[in-house]
Amino acid sequence: MTSVKQLFDLEGQVSIITGGATGIGFQMAMGLAEAGSNIVICSRKLEACESAAHELERLGVKALGLSCDVTKPEEVEAMKLSVMKHFGRMDVLMNNAGRAWVAAPEDTPLDRWQQVLDLNITAAFLCAQVVGREFIRQRRGKIINIASIAGLVGRNPKAYSSIAYCTSKGALVNFTRDLAVKWAQHNIQVNCICPGFFATPLNQKLFERNRENLEAEVPLHRTGGPDDLKGAAVLLASKASDFMTGVIMPVDGGTVAW
């Protein structure tokens, strides 16, 4: 029988987090590192990735920052090759990179709609496909998709209005379920975290402008804090979730419960 500490121990593993240099991505990267995982941070901004990797190494793990536009298949493939060359293994893929375009549905430009879908759902497919081939070869792996409660319910436009974001995150939710079913035969667990609103550098102005409306939607009467996603991330990256796949996990202070 395995102890609880052993189930949650990530020592020696390698976790890839897309868009993990800032915001909730970095929070979850830190949680995985605190549980012992080595970390790969990738996004288009190499300097930010390297800075985040340097900070994570202070926790006693190895970390690598890579430049990668996850909407481009050739860059995703190059990222995988770099990880394998550097670490010789990969255990966890967290599809966290994302963006939004805030506007009323009738005012959303088609090019902005497409940009949001390209990053929020198509890039997740590309990363899962490329990294998943390695997971299939080794017959193990964890994929954690970061969607949103905006992919589970319609959102109050007074708090947040981005139909492209909501649509893409809804697609990511069902992508999770279907990929989980398809790849269960390969011992790959595919799960999804749906955060509620977390204030980050990217949405700070929106938070300040709409704080009252945003907090009014949350039964716990606050938005997400700096440690609130760590537990869910470690659970889904660890052996503790070996019998969990296709799970959609809100971390939202109870928002979708009412």
Would you name the residues annotated as active-site residues?
165
- Smallest CA-to-CA distance from 98 within 50, 179, 165, 17 is with 165
Encoded tokens for 42: 């990738």
Sign, CA dihedral 201-95-256-252, equals negative
β-sheet with 188-195: strand ranges across: 63-67, 38-43, 14-18, 92-95, 141-146, 188-195, 248-251
Instruction: Find the farthest-apart pair of alpha carbons in the chain and give their distance in angstroms, rounded.
Output: 57
Cα–Cα distance for residue pair 145/109, rounded to 1 Å = 26
Q: How many other C-beta atoms are found inside a 10 Å radius of the C-beta of residue 14?
A: 23
